[in-house]
Amino acid sequence: MRYLSSTGRIEAQKTDCLVTTRPAARALAVRLRVDDYLDHALADFDDKPGKAVLVPLGKNRAIKRVLIVGSNPSHSVADFRKAMNAAATTLKGAAIRDAVLSLDAFAVDGFGAEQKTRVALAILSTVLYRFKAPKRDDDKATTIGRIAVRADGRAASGVRRAIRVAQALDDGMRWARDMANLPPNVCNPTYLARVARAYARANGLRCRVLEEAEMERLGMGAFMSVTRGSDTPGKLIIVEYRGGKRGAKPIAMIGKGITFDTGGISLKPGAAMDEMKFDMCGAASVLGCLRAAVEARLPVNLLAIVAAAENMPSGNASRPGDVVTTLSGQTVEILNTDAEGRLVLCDAITYSERYEPQVVIDVATLTGACVVALGAPASGLFANDDALAKALQDAGDYIGDRAWRMPVWEDYQPALRSNFADMANIGGREAGAITAACFLSRFARKVKWAHLDIAGSAYAGGAAKGASGRPVPLLFQYLLDAA
């Protein structure tokens, strides 16, 4: 998607589609002398947030269609989100190549033009995404490629600033979704390493990839216990973006990159196992956030780490009952090989300490328990630092990519007790998302740390199957706020 700014009179716009409200459309129709036609077309329109109707004005007109979005005289932020979702959904289903969003037609309580633009374009990026699948009929679909945001002169500078940021977010989120939607025979650890290296080389970033031999030598026994069963070697991918002050400590983001998760010896049921290609959405979101930060030229230092591996059953695979030694020196009894994400992440968290990060944020499709607890609307947020947790939650609330904080209390730690190691890799049946976070917290005692469990928010299954791109908006907004 390409975003632009637009000025000038509404009636002078040249576009396939003008997106506006009913009162603004009525005023435009009077100037274009089509008010009787518009009134007839809108006779049964329910003018409420979340409703939309597309009215053709004629192929020979500069404005060929008007997309009228239900509105209130003064939108709440929630109503504005509903309106933009309705607009985006309608645009996606129509044969429209470009549109103009008449932003000043929408009044939003507490939001100026810049804020409205940020929120609107984040929603449009999410809804209008289309994966270019290897299907013969996929190229026949008409996809919208350009959206201009029109605002009056006083708001123009803020709108242009918001567009630059929104374009970076769109590029990062689209990259993350494309990676996650690829088939697992294409997007494996080797592919992720190749993509990260290529992007780093093209943008002057530092990239290092640890191969299995080096991870073995370093003592990353937890990571190696996961990748050992696969013929495709695992990789620890480290990319550094240095946009901030020289010597300033980086923000570290660590993504779970299990490019396919069979469960290992603790094999998953066959139904919907194809969706386990999405178990690398944490890695995709971290790389997507990196790209957004680079393209927005944010003045921050960012460390992106991807723990990439396949979790496969084989004669070399880990068994329930194995005990491994992590990079931190702590030992883990593997009671369930399907609790593998925390095993690659714990070694990655320990490895990140050598960069002396100011904070560490790990992102993972970690537990089905988080899906049960929160569903798709919110990611699970865990942290050992209140200020970091609040900053992440505030960022998600602002951009509409919400997270909900859950406890990492000591009360839950006894569930990880093992008779044969420092800890087990799973607790009991209860509080599965929390005990998984408690496991990770044992490797983050030296840093300010947060964990985002995105198992419910990162992708959809069933007929709507596909990656959502979350939590790229949350992570990017956090970086914007930090900058």
pLDDT in tens, 207-265: 999 999 999 999 999 999 999 999 999 999 999 999 999 999 999 999 999 999 999 99
Residue span of the structural domain in which 146 resides: 2-152
Domain check: are 261 and 145 in the same one?
A: no
- Per the structure, the count of domains in the chain is 2
> Mean pLDDT per 10-residue run, the chain (483 residues)?
93 94 94 93 92 93 96 84 96 94 91 95 96 71 87 88 98 98 98 98 98 98 98 98 97 98 97 97 98 98 98 97 98 98 98 98 98 98 98 97 98 98 96 98 98 98 95 98 95
Which residue in the list 208, 268, 442, 448 is annotated as catalytic? Answer: 268
Cα distance between residue 174 and residue 182, in whole Å: 12
Residue type for position 187 = C
DSSP β-bridge partners for residue 260: 310
- The Cα diameter of the chain in Å comes to 82
- Does residue 429 have an active-site annotation? no
User: Cβ(204)–Cβ(239) under 8 Å?
Assistant: no
**Predicted pLDDT of residue 153:** 79
* Residue whose entry in the numeric block shows the structure tokens 């840093």: 447
- Does residue 249 have an active-site annotation? no
Cα distance between residue 94 and residue 86, in whole Å: 13
DSSP β-bridge partners for residue 208: 238
Last residue of a domain, one of 152, 167, 197: 152
Report the predicted TM-score, pTM, of the whole model to 2 decimal places: 0.96
b/e map 297-314, b = 16+ CB within 10 Å:
ebebbbbbbbbbbbbbbe
Does the residue 170 lie in any domain?
no
* Structure tokens that stand for 170 in this block: 């769109």
User: Cβ(300)–Cβ(240) under 8 Å?
Assistant: no
Q: Report which secondary-structure segment, H or E, holds 364.
A: strand 359-364
Does the residue 160 lie in any domain?
no
Which residue in the list 174, 256, 342, 470 is annotated as catalytic? Answer: 342
Q: Is 318 exposed, middle or buried (0-12, 13-18, 19+ CB in 10 A)?
A: buried
Cα distance between residue 335 and residue 320, in whole Å: 5
User: Cβ(351)–Cβ(229) under 8 Å?
Assistant: no
Q: Kindly report the CATH number assigned to the domain that includes residue 137.
A: 3.40.220.10
* Structure tokens that stand for 456 in this block: 């419910």
Nearest in space to 386 (alpha carbons), one of 354, 408, 415, 416: 408
Domain check: are 179 and 145 in the same one?
A: no
Domain check: are 404 and 260 in the same one?
A: yes
Does the residue 378 lie in any domain?
yes
Give tens-digit pLDDT for 5-60: 998 899 999 999 999 999 999 999 999 999 999 999 999 999 999 999 999 998 88
Cα distance between residue 357 and residue 226, in whole Å: 26
